[in-house]
Amino acid sequence: MRIITGSARGRRLESPQGNDVRPTTDVVKEALFSIIQFDVEGAVFLDAFAGSGQIGLEALSRGAEKAYFVDKSRHSMAVVRKNIEICGFEPDRAVTVSADSVAFLERTAERFDIVFLDPPYMTGLLQRALEAAAGAVRENGIIICEHPREEMLPQQAGGFSLKKEYRYGKIVISIYRSSEL
């Protein structure tokens, strides 16, 4: 696992051990950032269910102003902090929060430009997180969901609509934007 491009390009990242974390593949990560390439610069990014933090770190490397990393696993958060250090990002740009991601989304006063959701597959967490994310994203923001092809998502979440789905083998990236756009 590595940072693909930007200020931390080529940095090798650590990954939490065990079956609880399923890192996003480089192919899917590269495709994801190709989709949102014009939205990342200056954005406030949330990497919910952060795992290793690689998606939020890629966003910072590509010019996001700030990234929040949320995961309830202490082990995952230790790995995220190590990866932030490896990439050399300042603590004021890379904020770590040890918390349940859905609860964080429901309670946070922060508003995000981009929210990335990649919870454990087929647990119902994605649907709950998607609904909570709709209240934590700025009106012109983006909610991105990574999920298996078999997991169906709603057409609407709060004021956001499913605009596009991208398939990469067994993985789907679903993009939600404001229903007004």
| Contact (Cβ atoms closer than 8 angstroms) between residue 118 and residue 52 | no
pLDDT of residue 181: 61
Write the pLDDT tens digit of every residue in 117-144: 999 888 889 999 999 999 999 989 999 9
Could you give the CA distance from residue 131 to residue 117 in angstroms, rounded to a whole number?
A: 11
pLDDT at 42: 97
76 — pLDDT class (breaks 50, 70, 90):
very high
Higher model confidence: residue 147 or residue 14? Answer: 147
Compute the distance between CA of residue 119 and CA of residue 173 in angstroms, rounded to an integer: 13
Which residues share a beta bridge with 167? Answer: 172
Q: Taking Cα atoms as reference points, which of 2, 172, 8 lies closest to residue 88?
A: 8
Mean pLDDT of 83-107: 96
Convert the pLDDT of each residue in 145-168 to its tens digit: 999 999 999 999 999 999 999 999
Region class of 156: left (phi > 0), else alpha (psi between -120 and 50), else beta: beta
Over the range 25-51, which residues count as b (16 or more CB within 10 Å of their CB) and which as e?
eeebbeebbeebeebbeebbbbbbbbb
More confident residue, 19 or 97: 97
* Averaged pLDDT score across all residues of the chain: 93
User: Which whole number is the average pLDDT over 89-108?
Assistant: 96
Percentage of residues in the chain with pLDDT exceeding 70? 97
pLDDT at 23: 75
Tell me, what's the pLDDT at 24?
83
Is residue 20 over pLDDT 70? no
Q: What is the pTM of this model?
A: 0.94
Query: What's the alpha-carbon Rg for the chain, to the nearest Å?
Result: 15
Q: Give residue 54's Cα distance to chain centre.
A: 9
The pLDDT of residue 16: 81
19 pLDDT band (50/70/90 cuts)?
low
Which residues have C-beta within 8 Å of that of residue 120, sequence separation ≥ 6?
Answer: 20, 22, 49
Cβ-based neighbour number of residue 93 at 10 Å: 12
User: What is the arithmetic mean of pLDDT over 87-116?
Assistant: 96
